């Protein structure tokens, strides 16, 4: 990790603690790639208060700053009601592919995916194939639109697409009946294309900005794949963060 990237993460964390808003971390893609048995040390932010995580087949409660499993060490800091910072550490293992953070009500699940030996090798029928979806955080500065994909290894899956921090369903694929399509109720959704490609059902979504940070989720079975689109200007993020940090420090009396 470069000095500038480390400094940006530290400044972003300090700003969030000061003003209590959700921000993504510089360079974060919610993807961990490394060779098997190599160490990983990963940090991300979550947009609210989360209470448990799903790690493949495990269900782990977040409690007293801890959320570890046999596959990784996990700690978290709730810096405000709108943001939690999570750190995951461990050794890459073929058993670890998904970590999905869940919260109360319909708060959006946040997904981290692990590519052992830099590849995705889970071809279970009906499973989401995230190799076609990464990065899961899209830095969309100066972009008018963003296109994201959810690819499922099946041509006849059941799946639901959601939008928003508080998830709202806008499209459902159903096994024996026509899909439920409510995309027209969401003006920021410009196009949804559903195709069969080489034994996969591929859902390709094009959107424009609604909030400063938008969320789009694809659910298949118990798995959620969430894209976070950060439309915030980041042309000179270090300068912007430094300016806001100075304002925060002045506000609290440094």
48: Cα separation from own chain's centroid: 13
Structure tokens at 104: 């109360």
Q: How confident is the model at residue 56 (pLDDT cuts 50, 70, 90)?
A: confident
Rg from Cα positions in the chain: 19
Per-residue pLDDT reduced to its tens digit, 86-117: 999 999 999 999 999 999 999 999 999 999 99
**φ and ψ at residue 208, rounded to 5 degrees:** -120, 175
| Least trusted range by pLDDT, from 18-32, 108-122, 176-190 | 18-32
CA distance 55 to 112: 10
User: Domains (ranges, CATH) in the chain?
Assistant: 25-118 (2.60.40.10), 122-235 (2.60.40.10)
Per-residue pLDDT reduced to its tens digit, 136-182: 999 999 999 999 999 999 999 999 999 999 999 999 999 889 999 99
- ∠ CA 57-60-66, nearest 5°, is 140
Instruction: Report pTM.
Output: 0.85
More confident residue, 124 or 9: 124
CA distance 229 to 165: 11
Structure tokens at 175: 């096994």
Q: How confident is the model at residue 1 (pLDDT cuts 50, 70, 90)?
A: low
Q: Is the pLDDT of residue 4 over 90?
A: no
pLDDT value of residue 248: 42
More confident residue, 54 or 6: 54
CA distance 200 to 211: 31
Q: Cis peptide leading into 44, omega within 30 of 0? A: no
Q: Residue 177 carries which DSSP code? A: S
- ∠ CA 83-27-194, nearest 5°, is 85
**φ and ψ at residue 187, rounded to 5 degrees:** -65, -20
16 contacts 45 by C-beta, under 8 angstroms? yes
Per-residue pLDDT reduced to its tens digit, 188-244: 999 999 999 999 999 999 999 999 999 999 999 999 999 999 999 563 444 444 434
- ∠ CA 69-75-78, nearest 5°, is 135
pLDDT value of residue 7: 44
Number of residues that this document lists for the chain = 254
pLDDT value of residue 169: 98
CA distance 99 to 90: 13
């Amino acid at each position: 990790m470069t000095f500038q990237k480390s400094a940006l993460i530290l400044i972003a964390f300090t700003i969030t603690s000061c003003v209590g808003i959700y921000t993504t971390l510089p360079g974060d893609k919610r993807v961990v790639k490394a060779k098997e048995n190599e160490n990983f040390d990963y940090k991300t932010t979550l947009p609210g208060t989360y209470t448990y995580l799903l790690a493949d087949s495990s269900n782990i409660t977040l409690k007293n700053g801890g959320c570890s499993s046999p596959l990784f060490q996990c700690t978290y800091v709730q810096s405000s009601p709108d943001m939690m910072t999570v750190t995951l550490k461990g050794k890459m293992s073929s058993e670890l592919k998904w970590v999905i953070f869940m919260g109360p009500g319909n708060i959006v699940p946040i997904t981290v995916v692990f590519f052992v030996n830099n590849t995705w090798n889970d071809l279970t029928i009906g499973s989401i194939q995230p190799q076609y979806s990464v990065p899961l955080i899209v830095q969309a500065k100066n972009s008018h639109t963003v296109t994201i994909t959810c690819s499922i290894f099946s041509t006849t899956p059941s799946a639901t697409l959601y939008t928003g921090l508080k998830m709202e369903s806008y499209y459902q694929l159903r096994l024996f009946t026509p899909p439920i399509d409510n995309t027209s109720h969401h003006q920021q959704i410009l196009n949804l294309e559903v195709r069969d490609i080489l034994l996969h059902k591929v859902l390709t979504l094009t959107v424009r900005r609604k909030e400063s940070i938008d969320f789009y989720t694809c659910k298949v079975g118990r798995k959620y794949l969430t894209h976070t689109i950060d439309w915030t200007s980041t042309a000179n993020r270090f300068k912007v963060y430094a300016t806001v940090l100075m304002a925060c420090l002045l506000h609290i009396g440094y």
